[in-house]
Amino acid sequence: MAAGKPGMSGGESVNRAQARDEFQQRIGHVFSARSLLAQALTHRSAGPNHNERLEFLGDGVLNFVIAAALFEQNPEASEGDLSRLRAALVRERTLAEIADELHLADLLVLGPGENQAGSRRRASVKADGVEAILGAIYCDAGFDATRDVILALYRRRLAELPTADSLKDAKTRLQEWLQARARSRPEYEVVSISGADHAQHFVARCRLADTGDAVEGEGGGRRKAEQNAAQRMLQRLEGKQT
């Protein structure tokens, strides 16, 4: 058997090395310390030298770089708007999309149980992997190199930013709609909860204190039901204005 990891053939070892070389080309950074790349790609289920510390570091660098980019790109935006835009860019779903663009999932090393469970396809695992890679780049080459990689990965997303208002949830938009008209805040209450503990279904009511108007919403949790009710109330109010 060729030199490599125990239980891995020489062909498998060569293929993995080639895949990692191609990955480095995709992210635009070739590691001086290949061990950092290996650690960044190792899930905690695969052994003690896993990527959680690198993930922590990468998360911090990512948040700062995106915050700075948004600050420079949107000189008139409020703190709240900048926070919403940043949250949309660094959330799990966005990071998982970046992982897919980089074909990261196939490179992750997981323990047998997690591998058989298909965990490499989970959004959270892919998102953590992206953050770990960024942390590894920081350790390998410093802040400037990490910033350049992040800005390259986010170039299209930064150029095609949605409006900050479109990122506000329904409860926030409803409250702002009412406040702009000097009206009282809406009130929410859970009307009913049904279903098994692991699959509960909530019905929530949104009521306007000044008029008594009320609508109900539903969802797989209290927050989702309240958001659904707020969305329906907002649609009703905006419909009355047209």
Q: Could you report the per-residue pLDDT of 147-171, keeping only the tens digit for each? A: 999 999 999 999 988 776 666 788 9
How far is Cα 70 from Cα 212, in angstroms, rounded to an integer?
41
How far is Cα 239 from Cα 227, in angstroms, rounded to an integer?
18
pLDDT-based confidence at residue 7 (cuts at 50, 70, 90): very low
- Is the backbone of residue 103 left (phi > 0), alpha (psi -120 to 50) or beta? left
State the Cα torsion 231-236-240-242 to the nearest 10°: 50
Could you tell me which residues are annotated as the binding site? 55, 128, 131
Q: Work out the percent of the chain whose per-residue pLDDT is above 90.
A: 73
Of the residues 162, 184, 210, the one at which a domain ends: 162
Q: Which residues are marked as active site?
A: 59, 131
Question: What pLDDT, in 10s, does the model give residues 63-72?
Answer: 999 999 999 9
Domain membership of residue 31 as a residue range: 10-162
Do 46 and 143 have their domain in common?
yes
Domain count along the chain = 2
Of the residues 109, 144, 162, the one at which a domain ends: 162
Q: What is the CATH number of the domain that holds 174?
A: 3.30.160.20
Q: Are 215 and 204 in contact (CB under 8 A)?
A: no
Could you tell me which residues are annotated as the binding site for Mg(2+)? 55, 128, 131
How far is Cα 131 from Cα 95, in angstroms, rounded to an integer?
8
